[in-house]
Every structure is written in C-alpha cells, then in structure tokens.
Amino acid sequence: MIWFTPSYQAIVDDKRKRRAEALSVASAFSTDAHGHYVRATASEITQNIRKGEWTATQVVEAFIAKAGQAQEATNCVTEVLFAQAMRRAAELDKEFADTGALRGPLHGVPVSIKDQYEIEGVDATIGFTPWANSPATKNAKLVEHLLEAGAIPIVKTNVPQTMFAFECSNPLWGTTTNPYNDKYTCGGSSGGEGALLALDGSVIGLGSDIGGSLRIPAAYCGIYSLKPGHGRLTRQGVKGCVPGFEGINSVVGPMARSVDDLEVACRVTFGHQGTYCDTAPLPYREINLPSKLKFGYYTSDGYVKASPACKRAVLETVEALRKEGHECVEVALPSASDAFNIFVSLTSSDGFKTMLSHLGSDPRDPSLYMTSASNLPWFVRSFAAWVIETFFGDTMYANGIRSARVKTVTEYWHFTAKRDEFIRKFYDEVWIKYGLDGIIAPSQALPQLRHGGCMTLSSLAGATILYNVVDSPVGCIPVTRVDPDVDQLTDEWVHGPGLGTKIIENQLYKGKNPFYDPVAMKGMPVGIQVVGKKWEEEKVLKMMKIVDNALGEKRGFGPGAAANIKA
C-alpha cells in the first residue's frame, strides 16, 4: 500500500509549526504580575499610561501572556503578532517619553483582529490552505484607524471554514472551543474573538457579521459586541468568500468586554469613508436620550422557541428596565421564518459555488451541510420538502429546504425585492405600530451549541439573521448564566405559545440527548440582543449602557471575568 499525505496537510503542518514558534515567546501568565493590566478597560489603560504609572510595553506583555493562555485553552489564535506588538509598544513608549503626548485614545491598548482582516506582512487565510503563504501588502482600513489611535494588534483569531457557520472550525487552524466548556463551540464566525476576549486575551476585537457572526460568539462566550448597519464602517481590506454579493450585506464591527470599550472603538472608527468613499461620512454622534424609554421585547420569534434560559434572560432584562422606570411591551413580529427563507434564498443563489470554490483540496467542514443540500436535484428537494410538510406537519422547515437552491437572475431579483418588502413590513408592524426606542430579543434559542450542532441546526441562526435582513444595528449583552434549578423545561413552556419548527425544536428539547441541557450548560453565559433602527448605532450603544447598568455589576461579566471561568 502506498501511503501519502494530502496536499493540504503540508501547509497545515507548516503554518501550525510557525504559530507554535511565535507563541513560545509569551511569558507564563501571572495574576500578581499581569492581573491588574488585563482587568483594565481601554480608557483605564490609556489613563494609567498618561499618568506614567504604566507603560505600553508592560500592558502588552500582560495581554500577550493572557492570549497565550487563552490559545492553550481554546485554540482561538491563527496568526501571532507578539514580536511586532512588542516593537510597537516600545516605539509608543519612546514617543510618549519624548513628547508627553499619547498617540490617540487607544494608545498602548492591545487589540485582536478576526483572521479575514488584512494586516501588512501577515496572511489572511480564513482557514483556506490555498490562501496560505500570501501575506497582505497593506492593512485593512479599520486596522489602520486603530493603529492611528495607538492600538497594538497582538493576534489574529480563528473562524469557521467559509465563515458561513456559527461554529468555529477549519482544516488549517482546527477547532476553537468555548472557554466555559470545551464540549461546546465558541460560536462563529467571529468565534476566535469571542473566546479570546472572554479569557481577557485582548481589550477590543474586530469581527464581522452577515447572519449573527458578531452576536452569536458574544452570546456564547459572555462578552459584548455591536453589529452596525450596512454603510457605517468600511470593509476595505476585509476578505470574504463571495465578493460582489449584496443580497445580504456583510458588516464589520467591534467586540469587547464592556460597552465602554465598544464605544471607544466606534468613536475611533465611525465616519472614515475609506479610499473609495464606501461608507457614510457620519462620525460618532453625541446623543441624549429621554429618561424614560420604550422597549419592545419577545421570547419567541415564532420560528424556533427560545429555551427557558434564553427566555429568562429577556424577562430579567425587562424586569430590570421596568424597575428603572422604562416602559416595556411585548411585541409580535412579522414572520421570522420568512426572513430566514429570504436569507437562504439569496445566499444560495449560485448554489454556494463561489463560496466553496476556495476550498481547493481542503476537506469540507461538516458545519457546511446546508451548502451541499442546495445542490440536490430539484425532485429530491421537492420530495423531501413534501414529506416533511405532509407527514411531520412542519411547513416552516419544508420551506427552508425549498429556499436552498440555485436561482436564475430573475429569481434573485425577486428575492431581493422580497427582502425590501420585509424591511418595510417590519418597520410598519414593529417600530411604527408600537412606537419603540429599542427591542430586547433572545440572541438565539440556545445559550450555547455542542460541537457539530451546526450540521443540522443552522436554522438556529434565524434569531440573528432577522436583523441582517432588516439591516438594524444590534448590540449583544451578557445577562445571566444557565441555572439548572430554574431553567428546566416546564409544562407551561412545552404547551405554551411560541412554538415553531417541529424538526428543529425536537432536536433541541426532546429525545435522549437534546441539545438543550441546562445541567451540562450550568454556569455558561446567556445573552440578549438590543436592537435599534437603521443609522442608530449610537442610540443602541446608549441603550446597551442603560440595560447593562440596570442589570447590575454582580453578574460577573466584563474585564477580569476570566478569573471566574472554570472550564
């Protein structure tokens, strides 16, 4: 028998070897030596540097040590920038010693960057071996803005293959795990960022979102994120798998350990149009909100009913807001399954041919099961949908199968028009009808997902996809933790309103090994979405602060929270 090594394996071995060598320069993390640095927000870091009490070098050394520890625990890092970071820290320290002035509002602040962002001299593979060993020749514009403000990139972080899944695994870099429990995924596609930030390995991260990729990792890992609307931040220098696709616009945004750090990142990056004037010339705006706001909320979108833990997170938030004098009203949404089917119809228009063309000899990750289903012969797909609808009584799931197919240009235009129609309907039936300032919503039906769940449960992303279709700015906030004493299924939950697709909910809540298991999930974070109208990113950040303050500081999230994680 002739043994051989797959063509991609040599690249994998080489890249991982070089990563290990670059990681080896990190010192071991010491709570006594490094703890006070990694517990600081961006503003606290710059204030201490300005006062001469800390140096950028000391701060970066601490976060490098913590990032190395996070990588060992979760495999969240792709490209390692430790040597470059230490050189930049030394340059900033010299500049401050010579001038007494900080470079900017992020002077000396360690940041992390999702792998798809270009950084000069570094690969941006997004897990494709054919894209390896082809370093970028310049920085993505958002990276440039962070550098101009004094930030120090220390690592790039892992993503799922093609970035079209909410797990975090690819053949080049492997699987990233949840910092709270390695049996669960950290989420995706900005999953490496979620894991690293949860473990205090960075202060601010850059991610992206086309169906929940900033929000799902934040919810799964207990951190904060902001998905801006399309056109608020430039994507120049941010690589993707389907250039030219605009049916659902991918957006970029910040992730962090606090709302304050999200705000700092937005102040630095909003309003820059980029080389090609691809974004609105809209700098960060100072806004004042009334003392009493009106929030809408829901605990089921009618497509997949939120688990008791995720329902509790919404209701605890509502209770906390009401105690602060805000009005909260339960709202009914237009069909979330319609939004999901519009998303699937548009993204599958070429049968995912362009997206998958980059794999080369790389094996396809199991989380991309839906991409295979889109190329089934029409009669197989039609028969499967008919069986599911006729014998299982699940029209929602059947319609999802019907949506995942190759389209003609005329059909693509049709679904683009359906998207625009749905946006108008959402504004009429939610924002205008109820007169809301914001919406409080579950981040997903599950608090977390076991590895491999994406293969059959991609529909769970419908909870976040809704706001990509509508193109709303959305923040994610950690609220509570799974508690098996109060988060079990009850008769009221099982027989109450809000149930959706039977096939998905049966996998989540029924059988011998349901995906929702509050005992196995004990202590894992549960997040919510805070939603605003188009162009209201600053208002969303303000509402996030209101929610965060109403919930209180005793929840155990934020800078330094990694000390409480016992994975």
Residue 418 inside a domain? The answer is yes
Position of tokens 């070098």?
A: 57
Share of the chain residues as helix, strand and coil, in percent rounded to the nearest 5:
45, 15, 45
Q: Are residues 355 and 448 in the same domain?
A: yes
Same domain, 263 and 301: no
Q: Is 210 annotated as a binding residue?
A: yes
Residue range 283-310: mean pLDDT, rounded: 97
Cα–Cα distance for residue pair 493/351, rounded to 1 Å:
38
CA–CA separation, 445 vs 177, rounded Å? 20
- Write out the two tokens for 555: 């929840």
Same domain, 256 and 334: no
Tokens of 478: 């950690």
- Rg (the chain; Cα; Å): 23
Q: Give domain status of residue 567, yes or no.
A: no
From CA 29, how far away is CA 36, in angstroms rounded? Answer: 12
Mean pLDDT over the full length of the chain: 96
> Is 538 in contact with 546 (CB distance < 8 Å)?
no
Instruction: Report the b/e string of 340-371 with b at 16+ CB within 10 A.
Output: bbbbbbbbbbbbbeebbebbeebeebbbbebb
- Say if residue 432 is in the same domain as residue 393: yes
pLDDT in tens, 484-517: 999 999 998 888 999 999 999 999 999 999 999 9
Q: Are both 230 and 315 inside the same structural domain?
A: no
213 assigned ligand-binding residue: yes
Q: Are strands 474-481 and 224-227 parallel, antiparallel or unpaired?
A: antiparallel
Q: What angle do CA 24, 29, 34 make, to 5 degrees?
A: 130
Residue 556 counted as an annotated binding residue: no
In this structure, the strands spanning 294-297 and 251-256 are unpaired
What CA–CA distance (Å, rounded) separates 92 from 328?
Answer: 47
Instruction: Give the closest residue to 461 by CA, choosing from 374, 336, 349.
Output: 336
Residue 566 backbone zone (phi > 0: left; psi -120 to 50: alpha; other: beta): beta
Angular region, 75: left φ>0, alpha ψ -120 to 50, beta rest: left
Separation CA 460–CA 444 (nearest Å): 7
**Closest residue by Cα to residue 256 from 468, 536, 559, 542:** 559
Residue among 226, 304, 319, 301 at smallest CA distance from 269:
226
Distance CA 37, CA 44 (A): 9
Q: Annotated catalytic sites, by residue?
A: 114, 189, 213
Q: Are strands 204-209 and 110-114 parallel, antiparallel or unpaired?
A: parallel
End-to-end Cα spacing for the chain: 43
The answer to whether 290 touches 131, Cβ cutoff 8 Å, is: no
Number of domains observed in the structure of the chain: 2
Give a yes or no: residue 122 inside a domain.
yes
Instruction: Kindly state whether residue 287 falls inside one of the protein's structural domains.
Output: no
pLDDT of residue 1 exceeding 50: no
Say if CB 490 and CB 270 are below 8 A apart.
no
pLDDT tens sequence across 411-427: 999 999 999 999 999 99
Nearest CA to 526 out of 467, 477, 563, 454 is that of: 477
Residues 193 and 323 in one domain: no
For residue 273, the model assigns a pLDDT of 84
DSSP character at residue 204: E
Say whether both 353 and 486 belong to one domain: yes
Name the percent of the chain lying above pLDDT 90. 95
Residue at 399 is within a domain: yes
Nearest to 141 by CA among 229, 256, 272: 272
Residue 212 assigned as binding residue? yes
The model's pLDDT over 58-90, given as tens digits with 9 standing for 90+, comes to 999 999 999 999 999 999 999 999 999 999 999
CATH number for 243:
3.90.1300.10
Q: Mean pLDDT: which of 5-14, 375-384, 537-546 is highest? A: 537-546
Encoded amino acid at 516, one letter: Y
> Which residues, at least 6 apart from 151, have a Cβ–Cβ distance to it below 8 Å?
106, 109, 110, 111, 204
Q: What pLDDT score does 376 carry?
A: 86
Does a structural domain hold residue 285? Answer: no
The pLDDT assigned to 5 comes to: 54
Q: Specify whether the CB–CB gap between 185 and 453 falls below 8 A.
A: yes
Q: Work out the widest C-alpha separation in the chain, in whole angstroms.
A: 76
Rounded-to-integer distance, Cα 466 and Cα 312, Å: 21
- Residue 546 Ramachandran class (φ > 0 left, ψ -120 to 50 alpha, else beta): alpha
- Shared domain for 226 and 322, answered yes or no, is no
* Per-residue pLDDT, 567: 55
Reported as a single tens digit per residue, the pLDDT across 168-227 is 999 999 999 999 999 999 999 999 999 999 999 999 999 999 999 999 999 999 999 999
163: left (phi over 0), alpha (psi -120 to 50) or beta: left
pLDDT in tens, 23-54: 999 999 999 999 999 999 999 999 999 999 99
Residue 16 belongs to some domain of the structure: no
Q: What is the pLDDT of residue 476?
A: 98
Q: Is the same domain home to 473 and 324? A: yes
Compute the average pLDDT of residues 234-246: 97
Closest CA to 228 of 544, 536, 548: 536
Does residue 257 surpass a pLDDT of 80? yes
- Kindly state whether residue 132 falls inside one of the protein's structural domains: yes
Residue 127 CA from chain centroid, whole number:
17
Domain shared by 243 and 309, yes or no: no
Q: Are residues 370 and 415 in the same domain?
A: yes
pLDDT band at 375 (very low <50, low <70, confident <90, very high): confident
Q: Looking at the structure, do residues 249 and 321 belong to the same domain, yes or no? A: no
**pLDDT for the residue 370:** 78
Domain range for 508 is: 294-561
Asked if the model's pLDDT at residue 2 lies above 50, the reply is no
188 near 168, Cβ under 8 Å? Answer: yes
**Residue 458, annotated ligand binder?**
no
- Ligand-binding annotation for 211, yes or no, is yes
Cα gap 114→117, rounded to integer Å: 6
